[in-house]
Structure 1
Amino acid sequence: MPHDGEGRHPLLTRGGPMAVTIERHQAGRGPPKLEKYPDASVAVLVAERVLRISGDKKLRDKTRDFSLAFFTLHHSQVRVGLLSVRFVKTGVSVMMSSRDQPEVAKGVFAAIQESQKSCAKRALSRAAPAYSSLQRPTAAVCPTPNPADRKRLNSFASPHRISPSRWSPPTAPKFRRTPHRGGLPVTPARPPIPGSGRKSPGAKVGPRMTSEQKKVVEAVLGGKSVFFTGGAGTGKSFVLHRLIRLLKPEHTAVTSSTGLAASHLGGQTIHSFAGIGSGARDAAALAQKIKRSPELLGRWKRVKTLIMDEMSMLDGRLFDKLEQIARLVRQDSRPFGGVQLVLTGDFLQLPPVSQTLPNGKKEEASFCFEAKSWRKCIHKTMVLKEIKRQEGDATFTTMLNEIRRGICSQETQDVLSLVAKRKHSTLTGGVVASQLLPTRREVDAINERELARLSTPPTTFTAADTVYDSSSLNLDVMCSARPKVVLKVGAQVMLTKTFSPQKRLVNGSRGIIVRFTKAPCLPVVKFLATGDEEITIPLDEWVFYSTATTGGRAVELGRRRQIPLQLAWALSIHKSQGMTLDCAVIKLDTIFEYGQAYVALSRCRSLDSVTINSTSNNFRTAIRANPKCLKFYEELDDAAVIHTKTHE
């Protein structure tokens, strides 16, 4: 726990003068409290694992001491003199700046690392005498371990990098292989292809890859530019996350056509990565703009693999523009400037947004497969056909396969009519199904109305935002957490971030608030996935980084700290794309776009979790697929489990 008071231990490392801001978050109690010390002295007591702030005239003779236990260390910009430490349990953040003397921040960073390593060595000595040769007397000023010791210490870390670094003091009497939780992130050896049968030591066995998913991974690792597609629930996001783990981060850019999808991947929008703003100017002008920015130019030069998700929502004209920009900026005449493309999405889901012309008319959306450069850029098109989300519900799977292609057979019509006759029922523990609606305006109106009906007092959670580069990051667009969340006991809520995969508490999990804790004030939720168990939901952080940066280190663009919940009486179909929902009420009467009915229905795992709200039993008007997209998929071989089409 942080504590203030006089120091009793000699300083083992003194960082020097720094500007310090201490931010104390109080959940549900307004904005964070700030303490600013423009001329403080920062020191690290290595042996005692204490971060000490002192010396500023505002402090007088006092100090601010913080125990270096259970903290997150953010060091992506330490080279320019910026460093911050967030203490997980207390919600306190200490932000330090020495821009004029970056060496000071680097010294503090090194000292904190040494403090962690010193603790780790003591744990090793207690756990196994065989490792005692790793211990060395701690020098007065934070020594760097010799290469042999560093290698041996790191050999006990998991092959998976955790970013940002999270660390807590070891307490178990036995030393076990656990994820690396401190110091400089270990450069991982490439882990085995998930599902291949080989296991990393101590790694938990996750979902296994299907044979068709493995073929996608093999093609990408073989250097091919790949577009892999498939219906909802075929594991496109699952494959994408595995590929992100396998590809070299220093040369891989992770992007999406939408901010929400990019947030789930830990990436950024393609507009943000490319540095093109809205992308309205022509390719030559945008390329010149990029060349004038050393950061943007370096980003384009370093990237070797570009990942793009939700390709159905990216306009084909913009794809052509990006391809031309890549050639101009990289000065490489090959398609897309020689960059390997890893693209995914389903063109039979939501389409690109139509652009408004200067005369006020809507310009018809263009799909990426219609782009002039598409066939030149994509070596392989691969179709995933094995549906995992609705596994076990053959009737629902057959229906969705029809609806995806805009077909509403008599059998599908009859089943939907039966589903429409169901009454809206309250599910386990008072949870009611979310309404999926086409527009955000309808969604906000329903959520606000239902919240107002509750007589319980409101609790407001205001996000704590930190933005280092506002030109590259708009948190309200990128982040799934809203800047302000108002909750009450009895409110229907949904997780906006995966909380516990083991308990099936993932992004989209539904629940109801049963009470709030005291000091700190946090919501306690009963989820459908966990029955009667009450789960306290703590504040969480969304951290956004640029990609493909110098030396393989991603530069932090900003972060948001907020409660990972949102009201869930209603949800937009657009926002639900990519989610798996526990239950949903779908108002088919208001569907107006190709693919909307399919996206809404395919969010659920089974027909039992779907309720249809419709004044008409004629569902054929809502179930539509874009003819151009149908033609694209008809050109692929539907007979194969997975079809690879190599373009000349």
Structure 2
Amino acid sequence: MQTVDSVLCETLREAAEKRGLIEADNALDECLTEAEQFAMPSSLRRLFATILVFCEPGDPRGLWDRHLEGMSDDYRRSITCPITVEQKVLLDIRRMLQSMGKEITSFPLPKMDETYDDTGGEAREIIEESSIAVDIEDTSLASSLNPEQRSAYDEILAAVDSGTGGVFFVDGPGGTGKTFLYRALFAKLRGEEKIAVATATAGIAASIMPRGRTARSRFKIPLNIVDGVSCSFTKQSGTAKLLRMASLRIWDEATMTKRQAIEALDNSMRNIMGRRDRPFGGKTVVFGGDFRQVLPVVRKGTRDQIIDASLHSSYLWERMRHLKLVTNMRAHSGPWFADFLLCVGNGTEEADEEGNIRLPEDVCVPSTDKESDIERLIDHVFPALNTSVADPNYITSRAILTTKNDNVNNINMRMIERFNGEEMIYHSFDSVEDDPHDYYPPEFLNTLTPNGLPPHVLKLKINCPVILLGNIDPANGLFNDTRLIVRGFQKNAIDAEIVLGQQAGKRVFLPRIPLCPSDDDMFPFRFKRKQFPIRLSFAMTINKAQGQTIPIVGVYLPELVFSHGQLYVALSRATARRNIKILAVKNDENAKKSKPRKTKKQKTSLVSTTKNIVYKEVLNA
């Protein structure tokens, strides 16, 4: 038991530490040492900043002293003065800490000499947004807009140019070109050296916008949001200055967020602009989304509570100019399937007496009530898995979507067993705050997997896909739900590559991070799990997939969908009808048979059925 990797340890504790079963006292030091082996100083500096913010280091100055050489290797190649090198590293880390919402003065690091800072004291937010380079391909997008997009483009720019402001809502199903429109607007304004702020509710949606951020992180929206609150930035802050200077602010996937978050931004902008009588202080703001998709999550909320939490119920809704996009969807998904998707999204698809709709036979994997059903779905979505693992486009262009986390975990475990390659297993370190009598032993805590937290046992292999849990560094692409590929691992550090969005190709190091469930009422105690903030992402919940385009999709429905828009979101993630497969497992609720329907456009019989939940109140606004 005391032998690990053919080396005899002096104690059982040392052996357990080497196996990763208990946390070592020097884990953070070893994490940085392991990351140094990959010889990426800029990534190492970001790891150091991440450790300062999230990992509760007991001796930050000691970590600095021991790892300054590794963090400064690139600077030392061209700068001979050690003081200048140290100040360059400090400036870099200060910028990283600020992007994570912290100041370097909060940590016991060497004193900074401001003479080395060439920003002239300008706010970081302004520097970041003003320095965005426009992608040369985006400069020509305006000439390719369809008539609906062009009308919206012209109307929004007219509001910007006039200086009178306006509030717009761009409404369109997936495939109608909302992101295409946003990119054209950003290219136009940024090309004129104006500031245009790109945000989205979901991290994955923000990552595909040019220099996008989550709305919560950009606008400092409080976590516990209630009626009447404001954002947590002051009139003198860099965020306030940015919002005053910006010509345009775009918030995509706004239908996913609670109306109180949007109203908080409205309250704050009226305040900083000094114009309480105008929505958003008279500035131009564009919201985008699709009410057919999943609405804001209200824990244990009733239908009325969920609708009340949506943008549709906000006092701002009637003040918005609605811009509808519908063109392109039929080309995106194929004419018949696009019509079917809209009927699902609108709640108008014909249902039987049990309220179940019928699914197209050609996109269904027949259910036989056998364990092999899910294996056949996996084979459809991930063909030739182990001959394609080195291709990041293969592994990130497909996923299986399902309703609940238990189903996700089951599929991910099946997939990682199929996946070839070197394996590493990480165990979390679980604890309860304020439990002096040890009422909750680690063995019990290890069995818990709260929503939003990584599993106790995390099994990884080289080139396997994962998603990030939490907004680690939104300014640099590390959002909640960012998709990554594992490129390397050590005992205390994981080397991963961002594979989707504007930061695709960037390599990052991830440490173990203490995480707590976002829902404080989930347990009668304060639970903390220290683990790498990732999950496997061969499969994910339907809700997490919202905002993403996944070219090849499998939909696994072992039970019925349970909220508005879930079925529509699952079916509309794929880029074409031929790229989607659905396994709706037969049971007493969703196996009801009805006479197949034939139409002039579609003569294929429909044999699989499932529930579709649509709150038509939010669609008829």
TM-score, normalization: structure 2?
Answer: 0.55
Partners of 1:524 and 1:481 in 2: CA distance: 19
Partners of 1:97 and 1:212 in 2: CA distance: 56
Partners of 2:96 and 2:550 in 1: CA distance: 38
Gaps of 5+ in 1: 1-21, 56-63, 85-95, 111-162, 166-183, 198-207, 463-478, 497-506, 528-535, 543-562, 633-648
Mapping of residues 560-575 of structure 1, within 5 Å: 567-575=536-544
Aligned counterpart, 2:146: 210
Aligned counterpart, 2:580: 610
Partners of 1:45 and 1:327 in 2: CA distance: 45
Aligned counterpart, 1:274: 219
SS at match of 1:363: helix
What do residues 104-140 of structure 1 show as CA deviations (whole Å, max 9, x unaligned)?
x237x99xxxxxxxxxxxxxxxxxxxxxxxxxxxxxx
Judging changes above 3 Å, is the alpha-carbon distance between structure 1 residues 612 and 213 closer, same or farther for their aligned structure 2 residues? same
Judging changes above 3 Å, is the alpha-carbon distance between structure 1 residues 521 and 281 closer, same or farther for their aligned structure 2 residues? closer
Partners of 1:296 and 1:590 in 2: CA distance: 43
Aligned-CA RMSD value: 5.8
Aligned counterpart, 2:461: 488
SS at match of 1:382: strand
Instruction: Name the structure, 1 or 2, with higher relative contact order (CA <8 Å, separation 6+).
Output: 2
Aligned counterpart, 2:82: 53
Aligned counterpart, 1:36: 64
Partners of 1:215 and 1:245 in 2: CA distance: 17
Shift of 1:437: 1.3
Judging changes above 3 Å, is the alpha-carbon distance between structure 1 residues 461 and 606 closer, same or farther for their aligned structure 2 residues? farther
Aligned counterpart, 2:346: 405
What do residues 458-504 of structure 1 show as CA deviations (whole Å, max 9, x unaligned)?
24799xxxxxxxxxxxxxxxx99999975226x763788xxxxxxxx
CA contact (8 A) 2:311 2:317 kept: yes
Q: Which residue of 246, 252, 261 corresponds with 2:205?
A: 261
Query: Comparing 340-349 with 259-268, which one deviates more in the overlay?
Result: 259-268
Judging changes above 3 Å, is the alpha-carbon distance between structure 1 residues 211 and 345 closer, same or farther for their aligned structure 2 residues? same
Whichever residue aligns with residue 606 of structure 1, its letter is: A
Tell whether 2:355 aligns with 1:343: no
Judging changes above 3 Å, is the alpha-carbon distance between structure 1 residues 452 and 389 closer, same or farther for their aligned structure 2 residues? farther
Judging changes above 3 Å, is the alpha-carbon distance between structure 1 residues 218 and 298 closer, same or farther for their aligned structure 2 residues? same
CA contact (8 A) 1:190 1:246 kept: no
Judging changes above 3 Å, is the alpha-carbon distance between structure 1 residues 575 and 449 closer, same or farther for their aligned structure 2 residues? same
SS at match of 2:360: helix
Whichever residue aligns with residue 36 of structure 1, its letter is: W
Query: Comparing 431-440 with 588-597, which one deviates more in the overlay?
Result: 431-440
Partners of 1:186 and 1:414 in 2: CA distance: 45
Shift of 1:395: 2.9
CA contact (8 A) 2:94 2:103 kept: yes
Q: Which residue of 102, 106, 131 corresponds with 2:117?
A: 106
Shift of 1:280: 3.3
Tell whether 2:571 aligns with 1:594: no
Aligned counterpart, 2:615: 626
Q: Which runs of 4+ in 1 moved over 6 A?
A: 22-25, 27-35, 38-48, 72-75, 77-80, 186-192, 479-485, 507-513, 515-518, 520-525, 563-566
Partners of 1:212 and 1:384 in 2: CA distance: 6
CA contact (8 A) 1:27 1:522 kept: no
Query: Comparing 393-402 with 362-371, which one deviates more in the overlay?
Result: 362-371
Aligned counterpart, 1:245: 187
SS at match of 2:141: coil
Mapping of residues 329-478 of structure 1, within 5 Å: 329-332=272-275, 333-354=277-298, 363-366=305-308, 367-376=310-319, 378=320, 380-387=321-328, 391=332, 393-409=334-350, 413=358, 415-416=360-361, 419-421=364-366, 423-424=376-377, 425=379, 427-430=383-386, 434-448=399-413, 450-451=415-416, 457-459=422-424
CA contact (8 A) 2:347 2:616 kept: no
Partners of 2:569 and 2:408 in 1: CA distance: 16
CA contact (8 A) 1:350 1:599 kept: yes
SS at match of 1:239: helix
Partners of 1:384 and 1:78 in 2: CA distance: 40
Please state which structure has a larger fraction of its residues in helix.
Answer: 2
Whichever residue aligns with residue 546 of structure 2, its letter is: Q
CA contact (8 A) 1:586 1:611 kept: yes
Whichever residue aligns with residue 631 of structure 1, its letter is: N
Judging changes above 3 Å, is the alpha-carbon distance between structure 1 residues 236 and 329 closer, same or farther for their aligned structure 2 residues? same
Partners of 1:281 and 1:369 in 2: CA distance: 16
Q: Which residue of 171, 176, 191 corresponds with 1:229?
A: 171
Tell whether 2:257 aligns with 1:314: yes
Gaps of 5+ in 2: 1-30, 39-43, 52-61, 121-126, 160-165, 368-375, 389-394, 428-451, 469-479, 511-531, 593-607
Query: Comparing 332-341 with 344-353, which one deviates more in the overlay?
Result: 332-341
Partners of 1:189 and 1:419 in 2: CA distance: 40
Whichever residue aligns with residue 184 of structure 2, its letter is: R
CA contact (8 A) 2:199 2:215 kept: yes
Shift of 1:371: 1.7
Aligned counterpart, 1:171: none
Partners of 1:79 and 1:510 in 2: CA distance: 23
Judging changes above 3 Å, is the alpha-carbon distance between structure 1 residues 483 and 26 closer, same or farther for their aligned structure 2 residues? farther
Aligned counterpart, 1:195: 141
Shift of 1:434: 3.1
What do residues 418-474 of structure 1 show as CA deviations (whole Å, max 9, x unaligned)?
623284335244479632112334323432454357685424799xxxxxxxxxxxx
Whichever residue aligns with residue 343 of structure 1, its letter is: F
CA contact (8 A) 1:354 1:365 kept: no
Partners of 1:39 and 1:428 in 2: CA distance: 43
Number of residue equivalences: 444
What do residues 345-388 of structure 1 show as CA deviations (whole Å, max 9, x unaligned)?
0011111112568xx99933323133222222x2x311111235
Q: Which residue of 528, 531, 539 corresponds with 2:507?
A: 539
Please state which structure has a larger fraction of its residues in strand.
Answer: 1
Judging changes above 3 Å, is the alpha-carbon distance between structure 1 residues 335 and 460 closer, same or farther for their aligned structure 2 residues? same
Tell whether 2:30 aligns with 1:26: no
SS at match of 2:358: helix
Shift of 1:27: 8.4
Shift of 1:595: 0.8
Partners of 1:258 and 1:45 in 2: CA distance: 35
Shift of 1:410: 8.2
Partners of 1:79 and 1:493 in 2: CA distance: 29
Judging changes above 3 Å, is the alpha-carbon distance between structure 1 residues 256 and 524 closer, same or farther for their aligned structure 2 residues? closer
Whichever residue aligns with residue 427 of structure 1, its letter is: P
CA contact (8 A) 2:467 2:537 kept: no
SS at match of 1:631: coil
Mapping of residues 108-187 of structure 1, within 5 Å: none
Whichever residue aligns with residue 604 of structure 1, its letter is: A
Shift of 1:312: 1.2
Whichever residue aligns with residue 553 of structure 2, its letter is: A
What do residues 599-626 of structure 1 show as CA deviations (whole Å, max 9, x unaligned)?
1111112232222112145566522322
